[in-house]
Structure 1
């Protein structure tokens, strides 16, 4: 059986994370372990053609408007037709000028407090991205806030807002979604807000979290 392919996009037109090289290397290695080959790109034309040859498209630490209008149409057609999509961390800070992308991802980033230790409450451990995690997972990140709670999504983990200093952030109310998955048309979408720093991509639990989420989005789990 030929090795499946995943398109791994790290393009930025706004804030650029220092972790991108480590993240790209770690995700490429994860995909190889799953029997997939990563096509790494920062070229928007790579998303303009036929995406059906890919098991999944991943936006890894992307930011700003990164797609041409042709690429936007191609990505929408791909996902609606059954393609997989996964977003990591600042994928939620991407394509603000394209309304469909907010619908696809489920929510958009608004703000975050300082990078600091906190706690992830894993509320659904029956998913490949979370089945290995403890109910309460201590982690260090930026604890993203979003413009809404993702509609029609299966929320897998919340941020425990009592575990970190919320100055400059905090959603309050009934849970603070941090990791979720959803269906868009015939496609699958996975998103995790975690993964700001290079250290995350050397953390075994976080890597297993990513591996499960990517496998699910690609329809392999």
Structure 2
């Protein structure tokens, strides 16, 4: 059983999909979820295998929580970031390293687009399509979005345009997906399989 601390604290925009998201993660097989919005819950992470930042926004940790999360991951724990986790802790340089990039923005609204896995298999999905700055060069890209299949506007990126990735961080692991804006995403079996694989990677499976 993978013990996951699901953290959904927001200090800015709050996604209406958060309740559906927490319910969906809690329903995954072989996953034991503890859900919280209390920064103090991150002061001691010894009882968990993975910390998930699920649609968090802006600064959501105190100094002790930042130090605890860093020690947890560097010591072998797992981190999973979902959607606006990329727009979180923007003033903490180490969090940017942990996540692997920084959120730059997205075009207005949700759009259907085509994603590609590393094997070239396409996947049509409807979401907000994030653009990023400060991408690390050691990311293993898991999903890219085809900009020809939606309107990126000012948020185009050089190809490939990543939407999910993973990387080792110290003795631990970090996994991130930009997907998950809509409530409907959290009942999509392909998206949930993507999420389950991310949790498994972060847990070291």
TM-score category, normalised to shorter length: over 0.9
* Aligned ranges 1:183-194 → 2 under 5 Å: 183-194=168-179
Secondary structure of the corresponding residue to residue 153 of structure 2: coil
Return the match for 2:121 from 110, 132, 135. 135
Cα deviation code 1:46-91 (max 9, x no counterpart): 0012x12201000011111000000000000000000000000000
Q: Structure 1's 4 and 158: CA in aligned 2 closer, same or farther, altered over 3 A?
A: closer
Partner of 1:128: none
Is the counterpart of residue 67 in structure 1 residue 61 in structure 2?
Answer: yes
> 1: distance between equivalents of 2:163 and 2:139?
12
Q: Are 1:52 and 1:83, in contact at CA under 8 Å, matched by a contact in 2?
A: no
Structure 1: give runs of 5+ residues left out of the alignment: 126-133
Secondary structure of the corresponding residue to residue 15 of structure 2: coil
Is the counterpart of residue 79 in structure 1 residue 76 in structure 2?
Answer: no
Q: Are 1:107 and 1:148, in contact at CA under 8 Å, matched by a contact in 2?
A: yes
Return the match for 1:53 from 16, 40, 47. 47
1:194 to partner: Cα distance: 0.6
For normalisation by structure 2, the TM-score amounts to 0.96
> 2: distance between equivalents of 1:120 and 1:143?
10
Partner of 1:17: 15
> 2: distance between equivalents of 1:204 and 1:168?
31
Q: Are 1:149 and 1:177, in contact at CA under 8 Å, matched by a contact in 2?
A: no
Return the match for 2:136 from 141, 150, 169. 150
> 2: distance between equivalents of 1:67 and 1:219?
25
1:4 to partner: Cα distance: 4.1
Cα deviation code 1:161-191 (max 9, x no counterpart): 11001124211x2311111000110101100
> 2: distance between equivalents of 1:4 and 1:205?
20
Cα deviation code 1:129-150 (max 9, x no counterpart): xxxxx71100001110001333
Return the match for 1:122 from 99, 110, 117. 117
Partner of 1:163: 149
Partner of 2:39: 44
Consecutive aligned runs of 4 or more in structure 1 exceeding 4 Å deviation:
none
Structure 2: give runs of 5+ residues left out of the alignment: none
CA RMSD of aligned residues (A): 1.2
